[in-house]
């Protein structure tokens, strides 16, 4: 069953240099930090347009209570499942943009893991004179809580810079609670699974703190800036296949037009398919 939910919110917002600088400091990968007037790197609009809701509207999980913008789905686990971003023109850091966000659809399904609800949100970012810059579709999945797993040890040493080049086209990617906290702050994301150990393990049943889906996708996109700085991205399709937990070893791999974050046991956790602007075809 699919329920159409054409709920739209339009706002006028600043492409904020402060969280852009925060993400550059978090990545600490040797690239110059993007400055006011520069083009915003691909996917960095997830950071540059933060929305801090007032405290009184927050729900149990740390997100705004459902039923405000997002629909009142009664399943406790919310996951960033993937989506697609098309870049028509660059966003300039420090510029003002118009953001139009729409809940496009709400679909309820039943599978082997039980009931789930898929919410599709579409966002258009335009200049003040109406020129379209970015179209962004995000797929959010809501599930029932899982069976509590055996929590992983919660004692972490600082990892320092999260990127370490292992070989051509491959980087080791390391996480710790501080990295997750800093990303939550940069993106105005108060979801408790990323910083609240008791909530993540006892309430939602995860074995540890969950690495943000957008952080994994942004880390993959950053490898383009590191390894292929001349590529002008036209479209990115991103998919989160399985969660990565804080402290788990991971690698970022670039193979042609497909980038993958690989977790323990060689299991893909996040993938990113790149289409270049010049060719209109997957970049090879």
**154 pLDDT exceeds 70?**
no
- Among left, alpha and beta (phi > 0; psi -120 to 50; other), residue 188 is left
Average pLDDT (53-79) is 86
Q: 165-170, long-range: CB within 8 Å, 24+ apart, which pairs?
A: 166/251, 169/227, 169/253, 169/254, 169/255, 170/251, 170/252, 170/253, 170/254
Kindly tell me if the per-residue pLDDT of 5 is higher than 70: no
Q: What pLDDT band is residue 4 in, cutting at 50, 70 and 90? A: very low
Residue 189 belongs to some domain of the structure: yes
Question: 281 in a domain, yes or no?
Answer: no
**Domain, as residue range, for 107:** 2-276
109-151, pLDDT tens digit by residue?
Answer: 987 778 999 999 999 999 999 999 999 999 999 998 766 666 6
Let me know if residue 80 belongs to a domain: yes
203 — pLDDT class (breaks 50, 70, 90): confident
Looking at residue 76, its pLDDT comes to 86
| CATH number of the domain residue 119 falls in | 3.10.129.10
pLDDT score, position 149: 63
Domain for residue 265, yes or no? yes
Is 142 part of any domain?
yes
* Residue 283 domain-assigned (yes or no): no
Does residue 284 belong to any structural domain of this protein? no
pTM to 2 decimals?
Answer: 0.91
Domain count, the chain: 1
In a domain, 187, yes or no: yes
């Amino acid at each position: 069953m699919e329920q159409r939910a054409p709920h739209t919110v339009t706002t006028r917002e600043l492409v904020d240099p402060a969280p852009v600088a925060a993400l550059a400091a978090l990545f600490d990968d040797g690239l110059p930090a993007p400055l006011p007037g520069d083009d915003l790197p691909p996917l960095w609009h997830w950071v540059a347009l933060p929305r801090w809701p007032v405290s009184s509207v927050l729900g149990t999980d740390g997100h705004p209570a459902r039923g405000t913008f997002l629909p009142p789905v009664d399943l406790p686990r919310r996951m960033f499942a993937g989506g697609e971003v098309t870049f028509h023109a660059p966003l300039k850091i420090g510029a003002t943009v118009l953001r139009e966000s729409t809940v496009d659809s709400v679909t309820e399904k039943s599978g082997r893991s039980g009931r789930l609800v898929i919410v599709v949100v579409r966002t258009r970012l335009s200049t003040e004179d109406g020129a379209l810059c970015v179209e962004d579709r995000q797929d959010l999945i809501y599930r029932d809580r899982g069976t509590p797993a055996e929590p992983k040890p919660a004692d972490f040493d600082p990892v320092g810079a999260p990127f370490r080049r292992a070989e051509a086209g491959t980087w080791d990617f390391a996480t710790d609670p501080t990295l997750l906290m800093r990303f939550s702050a940069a993106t105005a994301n108060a979801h408790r699974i990323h910083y609240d150990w008791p909530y993540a393990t006892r309430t939602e049943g995860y074995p540890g703190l969950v690495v943000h889906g957008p952080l994994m996708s942004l880390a993959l996109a950053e490898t383009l800036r590191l390894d292929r700085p001349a590529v002008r991205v036209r479209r990115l399709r991103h998919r989160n296949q399985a969660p990565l937990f804080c402290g788990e070893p991971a690698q970022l791999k670039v193979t042609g037009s497909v980038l993958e974050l690989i977790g323990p046991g060689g299991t893909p956790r996040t993938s990113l398919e790149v289409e270049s602007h010049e060719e209109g075809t997957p970049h090879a």
